[in-house]
Amino acid sequence: MPKPKALLFVAALFITISNVVSQEAIVRGFVYSAKTGEPVIYTNVYMEGTTYGATTDNNGFFTITDIPPGDYTLTVTFMGYDTLHKPISLKEGQVKTKKLYLTPGSVNIEGVNVSAKKTEARTETQTSMVKLTPLDIKRIPSVGGQPDIAQYMQVLPGVIFTGDQGGQLYIRGGSPIQNKVLLDGMTIYNPFHSIGLFSVFDTDIIRNVEVHTGGFGAEYGGRISSVMDITTRDGNKTRHTGNLSANTFGAKLNVEGPIKKLTDEGEGSSSFILSAKHSYLNETANTLYSYANEDGLPFSFTDLYGKVSLNTKNGSKINFFGFNYQDRVNNYRALSDFQWDALGAGSNFVIIPGASPILIEGYFAYSDYEARMDNISTEPRTSSINGFDLGLDVSYIQGDNKLQYGIRINGFTTDFYFTNAVGRKIQQKQNTTDLSGFAKGKFLLDNWILEPGLRLQYYGSHSALSAEPRIALKYNANEQLRFKMAGGLYSQNLISAKSSKDVVNLFYGILSGPENLPDTFRGERINHSLQKSEHLVVGVEYDFSDKLSTNIEGYFKNFSQLTNINRNKLYDENTNPDQPDRLVKDFIIEKGQAYGADITLEYKTGKANIYTVYTLGYVTRKDAFDTYSPHYDRRHNLNIVANYTFGKHDDWKANARWNLGSPFPFTQTQGAYGQINFEDGIDTDYTTVNEQFELLYAEYNEARLSYYHRLDLGLKKIFYLGPNSKLNINIGVTNAYNRENVFFVDRVTNERIDQLPIMPSFGFDLSF
């Protein structure tokens, strides 16, 4: 791994080289859609007839450096748009900024899209990383006809989904609290609703999503398993428009438009976008899906999001955004009521300085998350976290090389109250601030791509500094074959109040990492209070043709220290100092490993797409005494997604998804008995006292449930009502052949609870 001095040397060398070649010209700028003013991302911009070119980023920004002075034709190509040709003259040492506008074309040229993907594959490491756009998300069957990132996440390599009701996503062995979710730089603490099929994010406001399932770069920190980075789009800058949709699960409304209209390339503009979606499944289920659950489907949610974008003359911009998310579960299985509320607001910006190939990005945001569960058998459980996120990044681009560095500051307060099954309270309230800085380089050396990085993360509540080197590289063996790897060290402070031993628990509390931990773990001394992991990922990409490609990755995550809530606490530590740690500590130390392989095969044409993903995974955990498999340890997981576009005007779209998953582990019940606590000591009359019903368990998670498989189907018809209006009518069915997939079994009543049964749906989506 690179050392700090080595990184400083590379940075100095990088700047020195850039000064030497400063007599060359630079062209930079943004690519926008002329119809909406929205940035066009991941498209090729190049000097026609030369090797000088670049690909636009998440902001539509590009930089082409080291261009000899002369006359050129600046060309932009992207699927669905007319190719843009723009003459340009460059002088020695000149830095020219351009804003380029693409016009939607009448003919989609698939070769352009293939070329862009091939260019990106040869210039980006892309290890354990998947990029998504709303178009990708809409290609799979959507529950209720409403495409959602929560449903698409379930088909990604290495992602395991544990249930339709209260289920969570586990990414390559990491628990949900170990997965960082960012929305325009802001941390989202609970991105998925309790029904498990929907996220808080409206697909129609998403610009792009990057999912890093492991080995992620130095720009990300504070989590030890994965990152999901979501960027929202700006509102339409040319006209007011909207979208209204409704189906058997819920409804949503989006409106957007210019505040200051985009008039020509030389002027600034501003726009807004508002989104609202609401689920009424708890009401419709009693009529449409009464067979699904004897208690109905008691899930409902409301999501609100708004954003204002201000764009300057040269392409710099600032956004202001806010959200309010609510989730409600009423009388779930006659056991509990659960609710959580999240709200936040913030701003992010992009600055293009003067005559320099530099891009400056930053954000500031505040958010608040509160959760509560009321249970008839225990006291209420509550959890809250609120605080701010601040970040500033500087990117320096020179040719195909890039240097990026930045800082992060996160301050938050956690407040947690929990009572376990035997009435012992676990309570914590804490304020903390985390500081971090990072530097990351990207260098193209012949057929090699090298991305070294270093992150320094300081945790204020622990007074602990974590140095975390990261590296990624790729070797382009030829036009079709590429080898890659990534790895690094990772740490985090936050822990979850949901034990990894829980199968079903809607309550998902969040705590700051505690200091009061056991002093040793299996005879080894504990030197710090942080959770830490080490990642190694190796892979190979191969293009059989322009239409067929595969990606194979093997991964290993070593969770060298984990913190888990102690569900076995029986005594108060202050009044029972002689009891062992496992019976008095609020929290315990664990270790773990996750390893396996993902195989992706993708066939893509203009009409048909087939996407196949197979995951082989192993997850183990060790506590002070036992080694066990957590409940999400699924050995085999297979997803096949197919979609087909047909009709005279490509106005019919059909899609299907089939998922096969091997059994999850569970703990068997060996028997039951009546327990007498002898509360009055020797004076207790065991012949008259009421016994407490207790279960006798087998070895933890030694058994396995049955296989899971489910087929989802969808069909959509598009009606074009005018130049800017269209109506989508969709029908679909979830669990098409009504497979009875077990969710869990009530140990007391022996009642089996299944996942969702066959659920047909229909709806419409009107764009105007």
Closest by alpha carbon to 90, among 76, 71, 64? 71
Residue 194: per-residue pLDDT: 84
Q: Residues in the chain, how many?
A: 768
Name the percent of the chain lying above pLDDT 90: 52
Tell whether 683 is covered by a domain: no
Tell whether 157 is covered by a domain: yes
Distance (Å, whole) CA 559 – CA 589: 11
Residue 13: per-residue pLDDT: 46
Does residue 122 have a pLDDT over 60? yes
pLDDT tens by residue, 484-510:
999 999 999 998 876 545 555 677 778
Closest by alpha carbon to 383, among 334, 357, 406, 416? 416
Distance (Å, whole) CA 488 – CA 454: 9
Closest by alpha carbon to 741, among 688, 689, 664, 675? 664
Instruction: Indicate the range of 24-33, 164-173, 406-415, 598-607 predicted with least confidence.
Output: 164-173
Distance (Å, whole) CA 741 – CA 163: 10
**Residue predicted with more confidence, 301 or 744:** 301
Q: How far is CA 664 from CA 160, 503, 619, 631, 741, in A?
A: 10, 10, 11, 6, 11
pLDDT tens by residue, 47-71:
998 888 888 888 888 988 888 999 9
- On whether the CB atoms of residues 425 and 417 are closer than 8 A, the answer is yes
Are both 186 and 327 inside the same structural domain? yes
**Last residue of one domain, picked from the residues 123, 143, 164:** 123
Are both 532 and 441 inside the same structural domain? yes
Q: Which residues contact 40 (CB under 8 A, 6 or more apart)?
A: 31, 32, 33, 56, 60, 76, 78, 81, 102
Range of the domain at 416: 129-667+703-767
Report the Cα–Cα distance between both ends of the chain, in Å, rounded: 53
Average of per-residue pLDDT values in the chain:
86
Tell whether 275 is covered by a domain: yes
Tell whether 689 is covered by a domain: no
- On whether the CB atoms of residues 211 and 132 are closer than 8 A, the answer is yes
Q: What is the dihedral of CA 325, 330, 336, 342, to 10 degrees?
A: 10
Tell whether 694 is covered by a domain: no
Q: How far is CA 334 from CA 194, 197, 339, 341, 756, in A?
A: 16, 22, 15, 22, 18
Tell whether 575 is covered by a domain: yes
Are both 72 and 213 inside the same structural domain? no
Are both 334 and 461 inside the same structural domain? yes
Residue 377: per-residue pLDDT: 61
Distance (Å, whole) CA 670 – CA 455: 49
pLDDT tens by residue, 415-473:
988 776 556 677 788 889 999 999 999 999 989 999 999 999 999 888 899 999 999 99
**Last residue of one domain, picked from the residues 83, 98, 123:** 123
Does residue 554 have a pLDDT over 60? yes
Distance (Å, whole) CA 103 – CA 676: 79
**Last residue of one domain, picked from the residues 95, 123, 151:** 123
Are both 102 and 134 inside the same structural domain? no
Distance (Å, whole) CA 391 – CA 272: 23
**Is residue 582 exposed (0-12), middle (13-18) or buried (19+ Cβ within 10 Å)?**
middle
Are both 728 and 604 inside the same structural domain? yes
- On whether the CB atoms of residues 733 and 758 are closer than 8 A, the answer is yes
**Is residue 699 exposed (0-12), middle (13-18) or buried (19+ Cβ within 10 Å)?**
exposed
Q: Tokens 């352009």 correspond to what residue?
A: 112
Give the CA radius of gyration of the chain.
Answer: 27
Q: Which residues contact 526 (CB under 8 A, 6 or more apart)?
A: 517, 518, 519, 520, 561, 589
Closest by alpha carbon to 65, among 353, 402, 450, 357? 357
Residue 12: per-residue pLDDT: 46
Are both 273 and 391 inside the same structural domain? yes
- Token pair listed for 401: 């090389």
Are both 99 and 136 inside the same structural domain? no
Eight-state DSSP code of residue 683: G
Which residues are registered as beta bridge partners of 466? 457
Does residue 18 have a pLDDT over 70? no
Residue 9: per-residue pLDDT: 46
Eight-state DSSP code of residue 219: T
Residue 264: per-residue pLDDT: 67
Distance (Å, whole) CA 601 – CA 544: 10
**Residue predicted with more confidence, 599 or 546:** 599
Closest by alpha carbon to 249, among 743, 736, 730? 730
Residue 109: per-residue pLDDT: 45
* Confidence at 19, pLDDT banded by 50, 70, 90: very low
Distance (Å, whole) CA 149 – CA 227: 14
Does residue 8 have a pLDDT over 60? no
Q: Among 115-129, 535-549, 666-680, name the most confident range.
A: 535-549
Are both 182 and 209 inside the same structural domain? yes
Distance (Å, whole) CA 55 – CA 51: 13
Tell whether 697 is covered by a domain: no
CATH code, domain carrying 75: 2.60.40.1120
Residue 164: per-residue pLDDT: 72
Does residue 756 have a pLDDT over 90? no
Are both 143 and 271 inside the same structural domain? yes
**Residue predicted with more confidence, 631 or 641:** 641
Render 602-657 in DSSP notation, one character per residue: EEE-SSEEEEEEEEEEEEEEE-SS-EE--TT--SEEEEEEEEEEESTTS-EEEEEE
**HSE-CB of 742 using CA atoms within 13 angstroms:** 16
Residue 717: per-residue pLDDT: 95
Residue 23: per-residue pLDDT: 67
Distance (Å, whole) CA 440 – CA 219: 7
Are both 114 and 213 inside the same structural domain? no
Are both 433 and 322 inside the same structural domain? yes
Average pLDDT over residues 227-244: 94
Tell whether 677 is covered by a domain: no
Residue 503: per-residue pLDDT: 52
Amino acid found at 627: T
CATH code, domain carrying 656: 2.40.170.20
Q: State the total domains in the chain.
A: 2
Average pLDDT over residues 358-380: 87
Distance (Å, whole) CA 317 – CA 59: 10
Distance (Å, whole) CA 331 – CA 224: 34
